[in-house]
Amino acid sequence: MRAFLRAAPITRSSHLHFRSISRLRNYSFIARHRSSATPTATSTPTATSTATPSPSPLQGRYRLAASSPTSRQFVRRCSAHRMCHPKEASGSVDITRGREVLPGNVKPTNYAVELEPDFETFKYDGTVAIDLEVVEASTTVAVNIIDIDIKEVSVEYDGSSHSPTESNHEEETQTITWTFERTIPAGTRAILTVKFQGSLNDNMAGFYRSSYKDGDGNTKYMATTQMEPTDARRALPCFDQPDLKATWDVTLICDKNLTALSNMDVKEEKELDNGKKSVSFNRSPKMSTYLLAFIVGDLRFVENNGFRVPIRVYATPGSEHLGHFSAELAAKTLEFYDKTFDYPYPLPKMDMVAIPDFSAGAMENWGLVTYRVVDLLYDEKTASLDRKQRIAEVVQHELAHQWFGNLVTMDFWEGLWLNEGFATWMSWYSGNKFYPQWKVWESYVTDSYAGALGLDGLRSSHPIEVPVKKVSEINQIFDSISYLKGSSILRMISVYLGEDVFLEGIRRYLKKHAYGNTQTGDLWAALSDASGKDVESDMATWTKKIGYPVIAVEEHGSELHLTQNRYLRTADVKPEEDETLWPIFLGLRTKSGIAESLTFNTRHTTINLDDPEFYKLNANHTGVYRTLYPPARLAKLGQAADLLSVEDRAGLLGDAGALATSGYQKTSGLLDLLVGLKNEKEYIVWSEIASRIGSIKAAWLFEPKEILKGFKKFQKDLFAPITHEIGWDFKPEDSDILQQLKALAFGQAGYGGDEEVVAAAKKMFKKFADGDVDAINPNIRTAVYHIVLQHGDNDGEKEWDIIHNAYLNGRTSDERNVALRTLGRSENAENIQKTLNLCLNGEVKEQDIYQPISGLRAHAAGTEALWSWTQENWDILVKKLPPGLSMLGGVVGTCTGGFTSEEAIADIEKFFGDKDQKGYDRSLAQSLDGIRAKAAWVKRDADDVKAWLKAKGYTLAEKL
């Protein structure tokens, strides 16, 4: 590990001492930039190494007709850069690096596409002319295609047009190969022209239809796109791989009263004789197919001109005014990114569109970003602060992609983290700059960082750079590893290098690879160039290996012995799973400051402290690891709040919870730690306390009711004091953080059964039910709904109907979604069935099925009913959420993951044993691993928890 040796020399002859350290200082990651200076060997702590590292069901409809020569000429541009197609394959795919990719005999340089959607038949007619660079003499051309009827095909070169003599469609690889009688010579510039017809499907993939109700309650439609990861092939025949970049000329034909949008600005608009219009757009930069976008519909917009190109937010008529916040934020963000990346945003406009049916949160199409309605439109009168923060995060994430992903793109999907990890990190970085009052880096520890470690602590996790071979594998890596662990290791290296140096490396990366494709090593090379450190040697293990370590600490006076081993939540690490030795950025905090350059990459190491009275590893929790302290040290740290940052205190709780889950510590110790923090004042720490209680309750969900009642009493005792101290009246002078703390405390105390909070919730809800739509503050709307469902008459039957009506008739999508998410919280058997019925009776869009069912996982009755419903309706779910797309895996995880026993695992495995698991197998495995972890935890610590609850007076012995 050469960079570690330069920055922090590791020797076998000396222990780590702090007496000569001159560079240690007080440090706050959220307050200011770090210095970019590299510490010298004489000013950097050293560690003694005591070991050396080890080596480290798709349907296609195709009709091939004879083609006619075409006289239309197309402008040709330079070829797209290719990185993984060394030779032509004999079939429609080339097996390169284990990947199924298109043969490399031809490369696209430009697409000219014309589409005409029909909202009566939900079909569209299309023509695409693809300029090709012929790399090798060939008689075949293969493209990607799904669910498209081919009408005519021809290839034109050297002044003549040729029709194929043979067509071969391979459904498994989603390709079609056309064979021509004459060989197309190498070096030729050819044009492949295809006329076709496609369907505006209702699967939220490719070119699809989205429905909404207008002001009169009539159903209206728009046509829109979602191409990522591999659904451009559903919209038109194309070379659907991220490394096959090309330019695009798009023309849309539609009713003259509708709006047509694409990635670029309008070049020409012409009225046609049939009452329609033809809208042609300027040629795009060279880009990947997954970034292609076009939309046709009745849309309105608001515009912001605070940036050098116009920013527009589009929505269906009547809701466009809710786009002002996002439009203003986008203008500021693009200007900020221009300066931060030192590379001007290259497109002539930025459109952002709220789509009524959308499977993801948003999609970064270059110049035409699409969003779920709730993630773009903001009503400050009816939305909570959490919703405002969510919108800001999503907008800044997608705009970061305009550079990191769109301008510079991973060469294949195993590099997805390059796009998503960085955009995630950048959304937090820019959020901190724009909204310092939100203290986002504090919440990062309990959000992205916690999410990354949660999934990566399972055996069924995957490396950040996960090998991807088949199309069916791609959707499943859009998960916490690519997004959250990816951003966490970038945060880690940004702290190690210094934020200024890190961003300088990013600038060099973008400038060197603009309009091209990269691999992870290209990013490390740019950061190495900017920092003078061997970043790739430091970071390769973190991207190529699964998991992360737990660092066990042994104290011997002023000497600390540290040992790293792989952490698994299931507490059953096998020797062959514990061979990786991670480079550890220790981040040692002492009373003198933080030793940020202190590192080791061996199984064991020893360090010496000048003052062993106080220390903490992983300052601000920027290192991706857990720390196992001796119990006495953990207790001392719990009492040293004045020496710890907010991130430290929240991270300590996160580590303690994870280590209790996996058996490194007793659950009673975690509960004692929570009690010790009852005087905490910071929102983020209280948020983590709530998360720890929630995880315990989830694991003990099927234990005797007296146990859960005991936990609720404990929850009430923790949260009631601060709830009554700060109150739940939201005042204009309240800071954003105080608003969040009030909302959190009110909800947690109410869930614990605090009588005054429950009474207040009922009072607000009654006013709301009587017609006062503003009776419930948006920040506590979820909590009030939840509380009244738990404490209403007849187990919330009446309350469920009122909340259901709020879902049907809410003023905004946000209000409706809050109601929908809460309905499943009712434990009443009739309400549970009504909630489940919503998912398939047409009331709930496919994109929102996860919302009502996620609430059902909060209680045992709902968890069991949800699993029965899943088995009974499996065929319907597969039809509504095709496995080849992205949503089925999430639904499978939700419908199975609430269980806590080995018996449940056996039942789930039996059900899925004869099912085709393609497209959701990874999600299922992760869900089962989570159940195993909970089952082992409860089995191991059941008596410990019972004894603790009894000793604290939360349960009666005879009821256990």
* pLDDT tens figures, 51-77: 333 333 223 323 333 333 333 222 222
Catalytic, out of 320, 364, 398, 799: 398
H or E stretch at 49: strand 47-49
Q: Who wins on pLDDT, 957 or 566?
A: 566
Locate 860 and state its tokens.
């045992």
pLDDT tens digit sequence for 507-545 = 999 999 999 999 999 999 999 999 999 999 889 999 999
Please give the span between the terminal C-alpha atoms of the chain, in angstroms, as a whole number: 54
pLDDT tens digit sequence for 344-376 = 999 999 999 999 999 999 999 999 999 999 999
Q: What percent of the chain has pLDDT over 70?
A: 89
Query: What integer pLDDT is reported at residue 957 of this predicted model?
Result: 54
Is residue 138 within 8 Å of residue 158, measured between CB atoms? no
Strands (E) located in 572-619? 584-585, 588-590, 593-595, 599-600, 604-608
Query: What integer pLDDT is reported at residue 471 of this predicted model?
Result: 84
Of 14-28, 41-55, 636-650, 838-852, the range with the lowest mean pLDDT is 14-28
Question: In terms of Cα–Cα distance, which of 303, 341, 372 is closest to 816?
Answer: 372
Where in the chain are all domains bearing CATH 1.10.390.10?
A: 299-383+403-407, 409-546
pLDDT tens digit sequence for 37-50 = 333 333 333 344 44
Is residue 264 within 8 Å of residue 367, measured between CB atoms? yes
d(CA 795, CA 832): 11
Is residue 24's pLDDT more than 60? no
Which residues are annotated binding-site positions for Zn(2+)? Answer: 397, 401, 420
The per-residue b/e assignment along 242-253, b for 16 or more CB within 10 angstroms, e otherwise, is bbbbbbbbbbbb
Where in the chain are all domains bearing CATH 2.60.40.1730?
A: 104-295
Region 329-333 average pLDDT: 98
Query: What integer pLDDT is reported at residue 91 of this predicted model?
Result: 52
Query: What integer pLDDT is reported at residue 876 of this predicted model?
Result: 94
Query: What integer pLDDT is reported at residue 86 of this predicted model?
Result: 32
Query: What integer pLDDT is reported at residue 348 of this predicted model?
Result: 98
Q: Please, what is the average pLDDT of the chain?
A: 89
pLDDT tens digit sequence for 433-455 = 999 999 999 999 999 999 999 99
pLDDT tens digit sequence for 480-507 = 999 999 999 999 999 999 999 999 999 9
Please identify which residue in the block is written with the tokens 């019925």: 837
pLDDT tens digit sequence for 677-707 = 889 999 999 999 999 999 999 999 999 999 9
pLDDT tens digit sequence for 783-808 = 999 999 999 887 889 999 999 999 99
Region 642-653 average pLDDT: 96
Is residue 223 within 8 Å of residue 183, measured between CB atoms? no
Non-local (6+) Cβ contacts of 41 within 8 A are 6, 9
Which residues are annotated binding-site positions? Answer: 397, 401, 420
* Number of DSSP helices (H) and strands (E) in the chain, helices first: 30, 34
Confidence of residue 20 (pLDDT cuts 50, 70, 90): very low
Count CB-CB contacts under 10 A for residue 610: 14
d(CA 501, CA 245): 30
Query: What integer pLDDT is reported at residue 794 of this predicted model?
Result: 78
Region 724-744 average pLDDT: 97
The model's pTM is 0.89
pLDDT tens digit sequence for 737-774 = 999 999 999 999 999 999 999 999 999 999 999 999 99
Per the CATH hierarchy, to which homologous superfamily does domain 104-295 belong?
tricorn interacting facor f3 domain (2.60.40.1730)
Please identify which residue in the block is written with the tokens 């083609």: 67
Query: What integer pLDDT is reported at residue 78 of this predicted model?
Result: 28
Q: Who wins on pLDDT, 475 or 668?
A: 668
Please, how many CA atoms are within 13 Å of residue 410, restricted to the half-sphere of its CB?
Answer: 20
d(CA 150, CA 170): 14
Specify the amino acid at residue 206. Answer: G
DSSP state of 174: T
Confidence of residue 883 (pLDDT cuts 50, 70, 90): confident
What is the distance, to the nearest Å, from the Cα of residue 453 to the centroid of all Cα atoms in its chain? Answer: 14
Where in the chain are all domains bearing CATH 2.60.40.1910?
A: 549-683
Class assignment of domain 409-546? mainly alpha
Sign of the torsion angle spanned by Cα atoms 357, 358, 364, 366 = negative
Question: In terms of Cα–Cα distance, which of 839, 858, 696, 838 is closest to 787?
Answer: 858
pLDDT tens digit sequence for 390-404 = 999 999 999 999 999
Is residue 19's pLDDT more than 80? no
Does the domain at residues 299-383+403-407 carry the CATH identifier 2.102.10.10? no
Counting beta carbons within 10 angstroms of the beta carbon of residue 571, is it exposed (0 to 12), middle (13 to 18) or buried (19 or more)?
middle
Please identify which residue in the block is written with the tokens 């097996």: 95
Q: What is the CA radius of gyration of the chain?
A: 29
* Phi, psi for 500 (deg, rounded to 5): -65, -45
H or E stretch at 487: helix 486-497
pLDDT tens digit sequence for 459-476 = 999 999 988 888 888 888
d(CA 537, CA 533): 9
Is residue 733's pLDDT more than 60? yes
Angle at which helices 667-676 and 921-951 pack, to 10 degrees?
A: 70
Class assignment of domain 549-683? mainly beta
Give 372's strand partners: 355
Is residue 335's pLDDT more than 70? yes
Is residue 784 within 8 Å of residue 751, measured between CB atoms? no
Query: What integer pLDDT is reported at residue 516 of this predicted model?
Result: 98
Strands 247-255 and 106-118: parallel
Annotated catalytic residue 328? no
Confidence of residue 97 (pLDDT cuts 50, 70, 90): low
Query: What integer pLDDT is reported at residue 591 of this predicted model?
Result: 93
Query: What integer pLDDT is reported at residue 289 of this predicted model?
Result: 98
Strands 259-262 and 123-134: unpaired
Question: In terms of Cα–Cα distance, which of 262, 279, 261 is closest to 270?
Answer: 279
